[in-house]
Amino acid sequence: MIRFPRYGGGGNGGGGRDDYPDFGERLRRYRLGLMIGLAAVVMLFVSFTSAYIVRQGLGSYDQATQVYVTDWKPLSLPMGLLILNTCILLVSSFTIEMARRSAFAQAAIEPVTEMPGIAKETEHRFPWLPITVVLGIGFLVGQLFAWHEMGRRGFFVSSSPSSSFFYVLTGMHGVHLLGGVLALVYALAATYRTRPLERKRIVVDISAWYWHFMGILWLYIFALLKFAA
């Protein structure tokens, strides 16, 4: 198992602090913070799901016809667009994972390349991270096209409770995914800055796990809208 060196090298090293946490500890802290944040997102969408299911079963009694009626209308989803967007997001999850592994591999060999007489690797790495950013933006643009198509079919935010939930669920996911895109842009900028490689690795790692979560969350929302409508 590769162990990454601590920052600094002792009280007389002049390069850092002895009490500064090493890379593994810092990575665990950031991952723990991410999990706490994602737990809040899970609770938010669980609340949306509960409201979705409860509202779907609500209705009113029509005195004129003496029947129980509901204002919940089945949605005509643009399946082609949504499936395409899903494929884009799944591919982006693969590319961000490759970027994460590439960052880990680069950090693993850095102690060796820093040794005197060892030439550093100069070849350009595959741009997994920029590709992920492009795919993420492509997914968001595709969702906007899906919204436009829903409007063309007569489903607007105020058309019915079912269409309202469609826009709320996909919109909230889009907002959180946009946050992921901004995090990826920051991670991409961090890779070109003169910062410690381990810090760059943490940024890419946390961004990758957040992105994977957004992919899983979208699959859940897509299935909910398709099969529970």
Neighbouring C-beta atoms of residue 26, cutoff 10 Å: 16
* Predicted pLDDT at 39: 97
* Lookup: tokens for 217: 């969350």
- What pTM, to 2 d.p., does this model score? 0.81
**pLDDT for the residue 118:** 47
Task: Report the b/e string of 189-216 with b at 16+ CB within 10 A.
Answer: ebbeeeeebbebbbbbbbbbbbbbbbbe
Retrieve residue 111's tokens. Answer: 């102690």
Integer Cα distance of 20 and 41 in angstroms: 31
Cα separation, 189 vs 200, whole angstroms: 9
Residue 26: its pLDDT value, please? 87
Q: What pLDDT is stored for residue 195 in this prediction? A: 59
Q: Which residues pair with 61 in a beta bridge?
A: 68
- Integer angstrom CA distances of residue 219 from 87, 102, 173, 198: 10, 26, 11, 32
What 8-state DSSP symbol labels residue 60?
Answer: E
Structure confidence at residue 213 (pLDDT): 97
- Say which residue the tokens 């950090």 belong to: 107
Question: How do the pLDDT tens digits run along the chain, 229 residues long?
Answer: 444 444 444 444 444 444 445 778 888 999 999 999 999 999 999 999 999 999 888 876 667 776 777 888 889 999 999 999 999 999 999 999 999 988 877 765 555 445 555 445 545 677 999 999 999 999 999 999 999 999 999 999 988 899 999 999 999 999 999 999 998 898 888 777 755 667 788 888 999 999 999 999 999 999 999 998 6
Question: What pLDDT, on the 0 to 100 scale, is given for residue 109?
Answer: 53
Q: What is the DSSP string of 112-156?
A: HHTSTTPPPP-SPPP-HHHHHHHHHHHHHHHHHHHHHHHHHTT--
Instruction: Specify the pLDDT at position 22.
Output: 76
> Is 140 within 8 Å of 177 (Cβ atoms)?
yes
